[in-house]
Amino acid sequence: MRTIRSRMTPLRQRMLEDLQLRNYSAHTMRAYLHCVADFAKHFGTSPEHLGPEQVRTYQLFLVQEKQVAWPSVVQTVCALRFFYRVTLGRPVMLEYIVPPRRPFTLPTILSQAEVAAVLTVSCNLKHRAILTTLYAAGLRVSEVVALKVSDIDSKRMLIRVEQGKGRKDRNVMLSPHLLDLLRSWWKAARPQGWLFPGRDPVQPMTTRQLNRACHAAAHLAEINKRVSLHTLRHSFATHLLEQNTDIRVIQVLLGHAKLENTALYTRVATKTIQQVMSPLEHIALKLKEARPPA
């Protein structure tokens, strides 16, 4: 946050401190500050001088003119709600900053054969190790790039995820196959701090670099679906559910605060759905008996 702090106004500095006091992640702090700065820039004045009408106008601008994705709109709404409620102490503004309804879409899920193709097609050992870690442990992208060598506990066969979403630590399973792959990666690259360092060894690999690797692997594997890094996490959860893993165990592994977020995968667990017999089958014989002769 040092580079941000050096060019901050007193109001932005106060908002940063408010976020720090509430233990928000560095990623969230940067995002919230950026959202409020864009809001102010749109009207060419400090956000403390802007009220309900400007908030409404800006939301319409994001949705109708810029046509930004739903997550970006929600992030802006959350940032403005925090800014007015906490930094400016104007909670009355919250009734004018209403989050938009989330459009419900099912996540893209890869079959196990498709996952295997994505994980094996690349000749780059580092990329194979990262993509395999994402799927084998169901990690978020931000969590896998933040892994350190010391987070791999081969004695207990666990991966420690420090300060995941919501600033919470958790443990996930370490697959023996993944452990073999990570050992091969460590022998080849000898990473010291970050398990997957970036071009500058002092820094972790960026999510942009990893996104490119994922898209390249999906292209080489000839996967026609829209594949993202998060697709591997979605596939991990769905495949566990299809293996009859308890949904509450999956919730813990994914680091979900609410069970309803994990329950989404019941809608895309096709093997589970296929095993359910339609009630039509129970009356099929009666239908045949009632059918008039040809």
Q: What is the mean pLDDT of residues 21-42?
A: 90
140 is catalytic: yes
Predicted confidence at residue 276, as pLDDT, reads 62
79, 132: one domain: no
Indicate whether 2 pLDDT > 60. Answer: no
165 is catalytic: yes
Instruction: Render 6-26 in DSSP notation, one character per residue.
Output: TT--HHHHHHHHHHHHTT--H
Instruction: For residue 113, count other CB atoms closer than 10 A to its CB.
Output: 8
Look at residue 104 and tell me if it is in a domain. Answer: no
pLDDT digits (tens, 9 = 90+) for 160-195: 998 766 667 888 989 999 999 999 999 999 998 999
pLDDT digits (tens, 9 = 90+) for 271-286: 666 666 667 666 676 6
168, 205: one domain: yes
- Tokens representing residue 229 in the block: 């890094």
267 is catalytic: no
Look at residue 8 and tell me if it is in a domain. Answer: yes
DSSP bridge pairs for 160 = 171
Predicted confidence at residue 292, as pLDDT, reads 66
Select which of 81, 140, 170, 234 is catalytic.
140
141, 186: one domain: yes
Predicted confidence at residue 244, as pLDDT, reads 86
62, 124: one domain: no
pLDDT digits (tens, 9 = 90+) for 221-277: 999 988 989 899 999 988 988 888 888 888 888 888 777 777 777 776 766 666 666
Look at residue 279 and tell me if it is in a domain. Answer: no
Predicted confidence at residue 3, as pLDDT, reads 45
117, 235: one domain: yes
Indicate whether 1 pLDDT > 50. Answer: no
Select which of 30, 34, 165, 215 is catalytic.
165
Q: What is the mean pLDDT of residues 99-115?
A: 81
Predicted confidence at residue 169, as pLDDT, reads 83
Look at residue 285 and tell me if it is in a domain. Answer: no
Predicted confidence at residue 97, as pLDDT, reads 85
83, 32: one domain: yes
174, 85: one domain: no
Q: What is the spatial distance between Cα 231 and Cα 107, in angstroms, rounded to a whole number?
A: 7
Look at residue 288 and tell me if it is in a domain. Answer: no
Domain that residue 23 falls in: 2-96
Indicate whether 4 pLDDT > 80. Answer: no
10, 90: one domain: yes
Look at residue 248 and tell me if it is in a domain. Answer: yes
Instruction: Render 13-62 in DSSP notation, one character per residue.
Output: HHHHHHHHHTT--HHHHHHHHHHHHHHHHHHTS-GGG--HHHHHHHHHII
**CATH number of residue 31's parent domain:** 1.10.150.130
174, 77: one domain: no
278 vs 238, 281, 282, 284, 285, CA distance in Å? 22, 6, 8, 10, 14
Total domains, the chain: 2
Select which of 12, 128, 239, 256 is catalytic.
256
Sheet holding 158-164, edge to edge: 152-153, 158-164, 168-173
265 is catalytic: yes
Predicted confidence at residue 6, as pLDDT, reads 46
Select which of 81, 233, 234, 239 is catalytic.
233
Question: pLDDT band at 39, cuts 50/70/90?
Answer: very high
pLDDT digits (tens, 9 = 90+) for 114-162: 999 999 998 899 999 999 999 999 999 989 999 999 999 999 999 999 8
65, 153: one domain: no
- Tokens representing residue 29 in the block: 């702090």
Last residue of a domain, one of 96, 121, 147: 96
Residue closest to 146 by CA, chosen among 160, 129, 157: 160
32, 161: one domain: no
235, 154: one domain: yes
187 is catalytic: no
pLDDT above 70 as % of the chain: 86
